[in-house]
Amino acid sequence: MSQSTTLPTAAAGTGEREFMLDVRTQDMEVNMGPQHPATHGVMRILIRADGEICTGAQPHLGYLHRCAEKIGENVEWLQYLPYTDRYDYLAAMNNNLGYSMAVEKLMGIEIPRRALMIRTICAELNRIGSHLVAFGTYGLDLGAITPFLYMFREREWMMALFEKICGARLTYSYIRIGGVFNDAPPGWLSEVERFCDTFEEKWQEYVDLLMVNHIFVQRTANIGVIPKAMALDFGLTGPMLRGSGVDWDLRRDMPYELYAEIWKSGCFQIPLGKGERGTLGDCWDRAYVRVMEMIESIKIVRWCLDSIAPGPVIAEIPKTLRVPAGEAYVGIENPRGELGHYVVSDGGKVAVRCRVRGPSFTNLAVLEELLPGALIADSIAIIGSTDIVVGETDR
Amino acid sequence: MEFRGILDRLRAIGAPGLLGHDEPRGADPADKKDKGRAGDPFVLVDPQRLPAFLEVCRDDERLAFDILIDLTAADPSKDDPNLWVLVHLLSLAYRQRLTVKCALSKAAATMPTSVTVHRGAQWHERECGEMFGITFAGHPDPRHILLPEDWLGFPLRKDYVFPDEYHGISCK
């Protein structure tokens, strides 16, 4: 028996739009994934749907679980570094940095200034590369294929730069405990500068192509709104938090390494979601924060290029590390949010506990709240806007 | 506020379940075996009163620990009768962090859930449950999260024995 029904939309879903359903359908459970292009990896979301509207969502993780934390308790401190590359494989430099900083905090070693500069350059370039993938694939999810190809063009250059400095394109293990593996090869820094010049031009293309594109705005504005209180309650960090208008960035608010100095120089800003095209905290705002962050990262890289001076790039550390007994937590601003490493040492060669707090994991938890009430087509836009890397949620 | 300031505030408002604290220190010159402790300070809290403690930390206007960054556990050693449950809090307003540690008996690893205070704790508690065998009483969805539902044992406990096989697949 058909019956006309108006579904009130959930606050999280779709703003003021209402959907008219001429047929009241049965609840149906649909598997999205594990092999689905929009899940950005191997993840399954069990969606309960009434017609076109999600009434419930249950993410199932673990398909990429590789026991990183258990491995951390079984290999030596230095040997664990390559495993850090493999959780958020789009931002491996940042992962290396987070782990190295946690161990360095326990050891209390001082890092040479040139090493800090190169670390910052690499971490920020990697942030740009990571946001390029996030933004490019987001367009792809919503049906815009061309921007994706443009963004991979610039990312290719970024990866070539990393290949020149450390030999690897994706899993670098370049930032080491005590500094960086080796000095930048001759001409590398000037090539980074050329990259910055080119990127600034190209970046404008992305904004014109996608950010203000009418279809893109229609698909993302007012969709998947995360109010500020909900963002705090779920412990969201990074662009997910800033997209909701919360002014928080670890690089400015709890600065590590050189960021206090860089922030003081006034060269970069923290972009925030403003609800420019729709409601504050919608998918468009999150995409906007990522796009703007790329250009801020370029400014940080330029600051480093201007102030870098010759010197040693790694502190003297023994081949077999014995880390003083104790426990330390270090959180850094990864492209996806706060990457935390909590390490416990008993003074030996191997960690007692090596905890990784991946930002994707916590950011993903909000889906259970966001999807109910949204259209199935919008669920792709919502999942894409969380910018998860499944390697990190599953570790 | 530095750690001392946070601790004084916690004492002043009578934070529920606060048992003590620990700070990094240098080696004791009198005792050759003592190498000191490096790293971060933390407060010790009664695991059974952790949710109330977190709530006070969140709602007190001079602490304002409004984000639960991480909730995890650690098994310090095979011989230790206790597990540690660790909560890393972050205050946006005051730009400060706090590490909260609870000692939870391995024999009776049950404590109340913190989901009522921070919804972000939900997945972290599921992970602690499967990896360390901690039961969070009142948890709305206590399934496994990273491991298969039929996985036996708690992999991150120090006495965990690696399985020989899983559904006919050799693990050796």
Tell me the average pLDDT of chain B: 88
Q: What is the DSSP string of A380-394?
A: HHHHHHH---HHHHH
CA distance A293 to chain B (A): 20
B58 part of contact set with chain A, CB < 8 Å: no
A328 part of contact set with chain B, CB < 8 Å: yes
The verdict on a CB contact (< 8 Å) between B88 and A70 is no
Nearest CB to A324; choose among B35, B123, B124 = B35
Q: Tell me the two tokens of residue A290.
A: 């990522």
d(CA A252, CA B137): 38
The pLDDT of residue A13: 42
d(CA A222, CA A280): 8
Is pLDDT of B42 > 70?
yes
Residue A308 contacts residue A114 (beta carbons within 8 Å): yes
- Residues of B in Cβ contact (< 8 Å) with A331: 69, 88, 90, 97
The pLDDT of residue B1: 66
Instruction: Please name the residue ranges forming H helices in chain A.
Output: 68-72, 81-85, 92-107, 113-141, 146-166, 188-206, 214-220, 228-233, 239-242, 250-253, 259-264, 283-307, 359-364, 367-370, 376-386, 390-394
**Pairing of β B96-105 and β B42-45:** parallel
Q: Tell me the two tokens of residue B28.
A: 């004791």
Residue B15 contacts residue B38 (beta carbons within 8 Å): no
Is pLDDT of A154 > 50?
yes
A101 part of contact set with chain B, CB < 8 Å: no
Nearest CB to A326; choose among B38, B86, B145 = B38
- Residues of A in Cβ contact (< 8 Å) with B36: 324-326
Residue A161 contacts residue A195 (beta carbons within 8 Å): yes
Q: Which domain covers residue A174, as residue numbers?
A: 69-132+145-200+221-361
Give the mean model confidence (pLDDT) for residues A173-180: 90
Q: State whether the Cα torsion A107-A108-A112-A114 is positive or negative.
A: positive
Comparing CA positions, the residue from A214, A188, A92, A204 lying closest to residue A154 is: A204
Percent of chain B with pLDDT over 90: 35
B119 part of contact set with chain A, CB < 8 Å: yes
Q: Which positions 306-325 of A are in contact with B (Cβ < 8 Å)? A: 323-325
The verdict on a CB contact (< 8 Å) between A325 and B37 is yes
Give the mean model confidence (pLDDT) for residues B95-112: 91
Please name the helix (run of DSSP H) or strand (run of DSSP E) that holds residue B72, with its range, or none.
strand B67-74
CA distance B13 to chain A (A): 23
Most confident of A10-14, A92-96, B13-17: A92-96
User: Residues near A349 by Cβ (< 8 Å), separated by ≥ 6?
Assistant: A76, A77, A320, A321, A322
The verdict on a CB contact (< 8 Å) between A325 and B77 is no
- Per the domain annotation, does A111 fall within a domain? yes
- Grouping H, G, I as helix, E, B as strand and the rest as coil, residue B39 is strand
The pLDDT of residue A7: 38
d(CA B50, CA B38): 25
Which CATH number belongs to the domain containing residue A81 in this structure?
1.10.645.10
User: Residues near A370 by Cβ (< 8 Å), separated by ≥ 6?
Assistant: A12, A13, A224, A226, A382
Q: What are phi and psi of B42, to 5 degrees?
A: -150, 165
- Per the domain annotation, does A345 fall within a domain? yes
Q: Tell me the two tokens of residue A251.
A: 């690089």
A361 part of contact set with chain B, CB < 8 Å: yes
- Per the domain annotation, does A44 fall within a domain? no
Q: Please tell me which residue, A208 or A128, carries the higher pLDDT value.
A: A128
- Residues of B in Cβ contact (< 8 Å) with A244: none
- Residues of B in Cβ contact (< 8 Å) with A394: 146
- Per the domain annotation, does A227 fall within a domain? yes
- Expressed in angstroms, the distance from the first to the final Cα of chain A is 48
CA distance B121 to chain A (A): 8
Give the mean model confidence (pLDDT) for residues B15-31: 82
CA distance B129 to chain A (A): 15
- Per the domain annotation, does A226 fall within a domain? yes
- Domains belonging to chain B, first-starting first, are 3-124 (3.30.460.80)
- Per the domain annotation, does A378 fall within a domain? no
- Expressed in angstroms, the distance from the first to the final Cα of chain B is 51
Nearest CB to A65; choose among B39, B121, B146 = B146
d(CA A367, CA A386): 9
Nearest CB to B146; choose among A61, A253, A344 = A61
Give the mean model confidence (pLDDT) for residues A59-83: 89
Residue B40 contacts residue A342 (beta carbons within 8 Å): no
- Per the domain annotation, does A91 fall within a domain? yes
A30 part of contact set with chain B, CB < 8 Å: no
B24 part of contact set with chain A, CB < 8 Å: yes
B42 part of contact set with chain A, CB < 8 Å: yes
Residue A95 contacts residue A175 (beta carbons within 8 Å): no
Dihedral angle computed from the Cα positions of residues A240, B140, B105 and B162, in that order, rounded to the nearest 10 degrees: -80
d(CA B22, CA B37): 10
A348 part of contact set with chain B, CB < 8 Å: no
Is pLDDT of A1 > 70?
no
CA distance B50 to chain A (A): 17
- Per the domain annotation, does A171 fall within a domain? yes
**C-alpha A53 chain-centroid distance:** 28
Task: Categorize the per-residue pLDDT at A18 as very low, low, confident or very high, splitting at 50, 70 and 90.
Answer: low
For A231-269, the pLDDT digits (tens) are 999 989 999 999 998 999 999 988 988 898 999 988 888
B25 part of contact set with chain A, CB < 8 Å: no
A395 part of contact set with chain B, CB < 8 Å: yes
The pLDDT of residue A14: 44
**Residue B124 Cα distances to A28, A304, A357, B129, angstroms:** 29, 37, 9, 9
Nearest CB to B120; choose among A108, A234, A344 = A234
For B131-144, the pLDDT digits (tens) are 999 999 999 988 88
Chain A interface mutation, best of B40, B67, B92, B124, highest count of A Cβ atoms under 10 Å = B67
Chain A interface mutation, best of B97, B115, B119, B124, highest count of A Cβ atoms under 10 Å = B119
Q: State whether the Cα torsion A45-A51-A54-A56 is positive or negative.
A: negative
Give the mean model confidence (pLDDT) for residues A178-195: 90
Residue A335 contacts residue A238 (beta carbons within 8 Å): yes
Q: What are phi and psi of B150, to 5 degrees?
A: -100, 15
Answer whether the bond into residue B142 is a cis peptide, omega within 30°. Answer: no
Q: Tell me the two tokens of residue A171.
A: 């899993």
The verdict on a CB contact (< 8 Å) between A325 and B35 is yes
Residue A361 contacts residue A342 (beta carbons within 8 Å): no
Residue B98 CB burial class (10 angstroms; 0-12, 13-18, ≥19): buried
d(CA A168, CA A161): 10
A237 part of contact set with chain B, CB < 8 Å: yes
For A272-330, the pLDDT digits (tens) are 888 888 888 889 999 999 999 999 999 999 999 998 889 888 888 888 888 888 889 99
The pLDDT of residue A24: 61
Q: Quote the number of domains for chain A.
A: 1
Residue of A nearest to B120 (CA): A234
Percent of chain A with pLDDT over 70: 93
Radius of gyration of chain B (CA): 18
A105 part of contact set with chain B, CB < 8 Å: yes
- Grouping H, G, I as helix, E, B as strand and the rest as coil, residue A111 is coil
Give the mean model confidence (pLDDT) for residues A154-178: 90
ipTM value, please give it: 0.89
d(CA A336, CA A158): 18
Give the mean model confidence (pLDDT) for residues A27-39: 76
A249 part of contact set with chain B, CB < 8 Å: no
